[in-house]
Amino acid sequence: MIGILLKMVMKDGFFHGDLHPGNVLIDDAGSIGLIDFGLVGRLTPRQRENLLDLLTALAREDYSQITRTMFEIAIKPPGVSYDIGTIESEVTEVMETHFAGRSLNELDFGRFFSDLVGGAIKHKLRMPPEYTMGFKAMMTVEGIGKSLAPDLNLLDEARPFIGEIMLDRYNPRRLLSEGADALASAADLLRKFPPVANQILRELEHGRMVVRADIQNMPLILEEQRRSSRQIVRAVLFGGCVIAGSLALNAPVAHIYGISAPSVAFYLLGIAFALPLLSALRRS
């Protein structure tokens, strides 16, 4: 059963996405049949190679390679920065939790994949649904297999498919084809670069170069600037009222509690300007 799934995932790139026991039939001759293909997954050749890199890194217990592969295949939302060192530390912790002191037969790959994906989600990395479906199918089939054969080893079962994909990856014909594609892309880039560079230089020379920046939370930034401007105006008006009130203390006019009426008016107006400032200071 494990071999069937691995062939679908690693070789065919088209697999059953809901392999619970109710969708698996075994006849008297021991042949296995699958039913209910309402949920299926597809993997491109590149996605299959990413899974190969992940399984190979698992076999070597290569924490850095697992981190790089998981980061490469994850969907990364724009505007989020990542600390690869922190992510690798957490991957190392997951690896040591599941691998330390255990033989391959004792490993629970289902929980291991689940912890890896959960850690990625915590860092706002989302696994593409094709990979998630593939992990889920492997977890389900591994559980069924181990219930029938406790010594089942997922990596041992995967080795023939890993070897086949590795041979295909480094096939001389494929390498030659990929090299030709890379050269064609480089030649196209070199052909387009001179006119584009000349256009940029002309725009710079005549001062017509325009740079557009998309700043996140711009409305909040502008509102904060407006609020700061209002506070500055209130502070200036408060200071002006205090100075004016002090200058009017000796004015030959009516007094209120020993203070000239203009001074009282300026001081009261200054208090009106100061109250919002004190409130903002308390909030900050």
Largest CA distance in the chain: 118
Half-sphere exposure of 25 (CA within 13 A, CB side): 5
Query: Strand 40-42 and strand 32-34: pairing?
Result: unpaired
Say yes or no to pLDDT of 153 above 70: no
Is residue 96 helix, strand or coil? helix
Question: How far is it, in rounded angstroms, from Cα 96 to Cα 23?
Answer: 34
Distances (CA, A) of 17 to 59, 138, 160, 167, 274: 25, 10, 22, 27, 67
Q: What is the pLDDT of residues 4-31, one digit of tens each?
A: 777 787 778 788 877 777 878 887 777 8
Question: How far is it, in rounded angstroms, from Cα 202 to Cα 28?
Answer: 79
Question: How far is it, in rounded angstroms, from Cα 240 to Cα 248?
Answer: 12
Tokens of 193: 């670069």
Cβ neighbours of residue 209 closer than 8 Å, sequence gap 6 or more: 200, 203
Confidence of residue 105 (pLDDT cuts 50, 70, 90): low
Question: How far is it, in rounded angstroms, from Cα 43 to Cα 135?
Answer: 12
Q: What is the pLDDT of residues 253-274, one digit of tens each?
A: 777 777 788 788 888 888 887 7
Tokens of 97: 């939790």
The DSSP call for residue 278 is H
Q: What is the pLDDT of residues 48-97, one digit of tens each?
A: 888 888 877 877 778 888 888 888 888 888 777 778 888 888 888 888 88
Q: What is the pLDDT of residues 161-187, one digit of tens each?
A: 777 777 776 777 777 777 787 778 878
